[in-house]
Amino acid sequence: MNKIVTVVAPVNIAVIKYWGKRDEELILPINDSVSATLDTSVMCAKTSVTARPEFTEDEIWLNGKKESFFNKRLQNCLREIKLRASDEKSVDENFLSWKVHVCSENNFPTAAGLASSAAGYACLVSALAKLYKLKSDVSSIARLGSGSACRSVYGGFVRWHAGEKPDGSDSVASQVADSSHWPDMHALILVVGEAKKKTSSTKGMNISWQTSELLKYRAQHIVPQRTEEICKAIKEKNFAKFAEITMKDSNQFHAVCLDSYPPFVYLTSVSHMIIDLIHSYNDICGEMKVAYTFDAGPNACLYLLEKDVPAVVSVIKHIFPSSSHAFIKGLESETVTIDAALISKLAIEPQAKDLIKYVIHTKVGEGPTEVVDGSHLLNQDGLPNNLVCL
Ligand code: DP6
């Protein structure tokens, strides 16, 4: 049996942030978090997996480069998948003893605060789960790869329940609403920098957990209520409430980074200009039109309704002019002429060119899906198709 399974999986961008672990090994968070899963037709990870009796070792190729399989998180995911398969008796014992080959690619910058590890691990675990014919929820296995990955196992709006059990069995993700619930929820990702971040999320949240009182206060007294409120706002499609909570939670997360000791800063002056621009734009419009959120990097993710995309894209192009012809990538977006009166009221002046490198226009989408057109990343021998992978 030479079966190759290929899956594409989405990124997700949190609106209630996960920051801080109560267990490093099992990746158990100190608070619930909530995210939207973004359309795989725009941004995705793609992974092919196969298991063969003739393979002598587990091997992995990531974005065209051979990487070591002796990575604790990777090993934990594979071990858990096999344990589950053995419990569920979904494949025979022989198959379980065979080594695996994995080839994975992202179609967006890795480690630039664009949730690449979330898509990558969700993709790996979903592909392995299909190869080993698992029936049960695999979010708790994706969690072992990267905490935020457990939310990419589902489409639409997703909540990761922190759970209470020391073994992590109740630290799983579940869907708040599927991708068809609020189809006009779009996102614009403003790519400010693609450089690898100085302080990784894993390291940063560890420093915060050790040193920030604000983080503990947030997890105990702020996040529980916010999580309930934002889930309600999502279910009721209350954009104003959704936007307010999203922005406040992003700001509090970055305040925690500054409250950590030594502090670390992910936002740049351009990130701050974007924050000012959004508040000013919402004020001028007299209603909540756009929400920003920032992960562990300077890039903004703006959530907004489809009807407002043309006006917002036009404002961004005006304030952050670009010399690129492909400034807006992803979904089609028209531009409109913006009202001169609105422009004159904005709190921020047009800036020098190319402060924002490009914008990715996307929307809420579905969870991991199997690729059935045969476009595997591994060939029939179970080796990377693409020669640069070798
Ligand atoms: C700021 O999931 O990357 O994006 O569990 O250590 O792999 P590890 O961290 P990771 O952290 C993501 C942090 C965040 C917020 C979020 O996605 O909720």
What token pair was written down for 229? 């409120």
201 lines ligand 1 (CB under 6 A): yes
The more confidently predicted of residues 295 and 198 is 295
Which residue has the CA at smallest separation from atom 12 of ligand 1? 148
Question: Given phi > 0 = left and psi -120 to 50 = alpha, else beta, which region is 374?
Answer: left
Average pLDDT over residues 53-82: 96
Residue 387 lies in a domain: no
Residue 258 to residue 352: CA distance in whole angstroms:
28
Q: 10 and 135, same structural domain?
A: yes
Question: For position 226, which CATH number holds?
Answer: 3.30.70.890
pLDDT-based confidence at residue 276 (cuts at 50, 70, 90): very high
Q: Are residues 249 and 162 in the same domain?
A: no
Report pLDDT digits (tens) over 237-261: 999 999 999 999 999 999 999 999 9
Q: Which of 201, 265, 301 to mutate to test the pocket of ligand 1 (most atoms within 8 A of CB)?
A: 201
Q: Are residues 195 and 323 in the same domain?
A: yes
Give the domain range for residue 127.
5-181
- Distance CA(24)–CA(20), nearest Å, equals 9
Q: For residues 148 and 15, state if they share a domain.
A: yes
Residues 194 and 297 in one domain: yes
Q: Give which of 117, 119, 120, 129 is closest to 91, Cα–Cα.
A: 129
Ligand 1 neighbourhood includes 202 CB (under 6 angstroms): yes
Q: Work out the average pLDDT over 49-57.
A: 97
Give the total number of structural domains in the chain: 2
Model confidence at 117: pLDDT above 90: no
Q: Are both 120 and 169 inside the same structural domain?
A: yes
How far is CA 386 from each of CA 4, 6, 123, 203, rounded to the nearest angstrom? 15, 15, 19, 33
- Nearest C-alpha neighbor of 144 from the set 118, 166, 163: 118
Residue 111: band (very low, low, confident or very high) from pLDDT cuts 50, 70, 90: very low
Separation CA 73–CA 70 (nearest Å):
9
- Cβ neighbours of residue 256 closer than 8 Å, sequence gap 6 or more: 19, 208, 212, 214, 215, 218
- Which tens digits make up the pLDDT trace of 323-357? 999 999 999 988 899 888 999 999 899 999 999 99
Q: What is the DSSP letter of 167?
A: T
Longest dimension (CA), the chain: 71
CA–CA separation, 58 and 339 (whole Å): 59
Do 51 and 102 belong to one domain? yes
Residue 146 CB less than 6 A away from ligand 1: yes
Determine the atom of ligand 1 nearest the C-alpha atom of 145.
Answer: 7
Domain boundary among 181, 204, 228: 181
pLDDT at 166 over 50: yes
- Answer yes or no: do 216 and 239 share one domain: yes
Residue with tokens 């509090």: 252
CB of residue 143 inside a 6 A radius of ligand 1: no
| Residue 13 or 63, more confident | 13
Distance 117 CA to ligand 1 centre (A): 8
The confidence band for 158, taking pLDDT boundaries of 50, 70 and 90, is very high
Based on the fold, state whether residues 203 and 321 are members of the same structural domain: yes
Q: Is residue 388 part of a domain?
A: no
Task: Assess whether 161 and 242 both reside in one domain.
Answer: no
